[in-house]
Structure 1
Amino acid sequence: MAVAIRLTRQGSKDRPYYKIVVTDSRARRDGRFIEQVGSYDPMKEGINYTIDLAKVDSWISKGAQPSETVASIIDKTRKQG
């Protein structure tokens, strides 16, 4: 099973909100996921994301592949602290 770390869309029309989830790469974008590891709110100013780096590192060590957007969020979080 190929595992991906990617965004799943939540929120209403014109007010997107995303969860950062670990999921089977063949699953639908907003379908079933294995675990939620963070969130991303593009409508919010300043720091608009949260992520649990311990969980992300654990999944990456098991072979999960982050999407481009999630990889950039991970990099930003690592640079912060």
Structure 2
Amino acid sequence: MLIPASGTGQYLAKSAKIIRFARKGCANRPFFHIVVTEVKRDQTDPVIEQVGTFDPLPNEYNEKLCSLNFERIKHWIGNGATVSRPVQELLGLSGFFPIHPRTYMQAWRNRRSQAEAESKNVESESIQENKV
């Protein structure tokens, strides 16, 4: 049985809610729905509502596509829903939340590894020039 993208809308009124990723797509081609669900439910269980999508693989223009329904996200956060850490990072990059500290750390690591790779390239080029 397929679950409609908008969700089933069936949930307990007093239960804890969370906004998180639900993995869709195929093997080696992930695609995520950003959904509101009850905390104790599995990601394959029916969801309350889908509030966005995220495609983590870069397209031909090197873009990772994301769509978010900010009005519904505000509604659910206002009604007490918590937000998972990966979704917090994504909402921080979109400007909805402050940028998550893990985002800064990942950018710092990327810059450091790129600088190391460039220094290795410069060293290998200088060694090759000395051999010639």
| RMSD (CA atoms) | 1.2
CA contact (8 A) 1:23 1:35 kept: yes
Q: Which protein, 1 or 2, shows the higher relative CO under an 8 Å CA cutoff with sep ≥ 6?
A: 1
Cα distance change on mapping 1:46 and 1:9 into 2, 3 Å: same
Counterpart Cα distance in 2 of 1:47 and 1:54? 22
- Structure with bigger helix share is 2
- Structure with bigger strand share is 1
Structure 1: give runs of 5+ residues left out of the alignment. Answer: none
Count of residues in Structure 1 that have an aligned counterpart in Structure 2:
79
For residue 47 of structure 1, report the CA deviation from its aligned partner. 4.0
CA contact (8 A) 1:53 1:74 kept: no
Counterpart Cα distance in 2 of 1:29 and 1:36? 12
Aligned to 2:6: none
Structure 2: give runs of 5+ residues left out of the alignment. Answer: 1-14, 97-132
CA contact (8 A) 2:56 2:64 kept: no
Counterpart Cα distance in 2 of 1:47 and 1:13? 18
44-53 vs 68-77, greater mean Cα deviation: 44-53
Find the residue that maps to 2:37 and give its secondary structure.
strand
Alignment identity in percent?
30
Q: C-alpha deviations, 1:24-79, integer Å up to 9, x for none?
A: 01111121100000001111232421111111011001000010011111111126
Kindly provide the amino acid, as one letter, of the partner of residue 63 in structure 1: G
Q: TM-score, normalised by structure 1?
A: 0.90
Aligned to 1:35: 49
Specify which of 23, 30, 33 is matched with residue 19 of structure 1: 33
Aligned to 2:87: 70
Specify which of 3, 9, 23 is matched with residue 9 of structure 1: 23
Counterpart Cα distance in 2 of 1:54 and 1:76? 17
Counterpart Cα distance in 2 of 1:4 and 1:65? 5
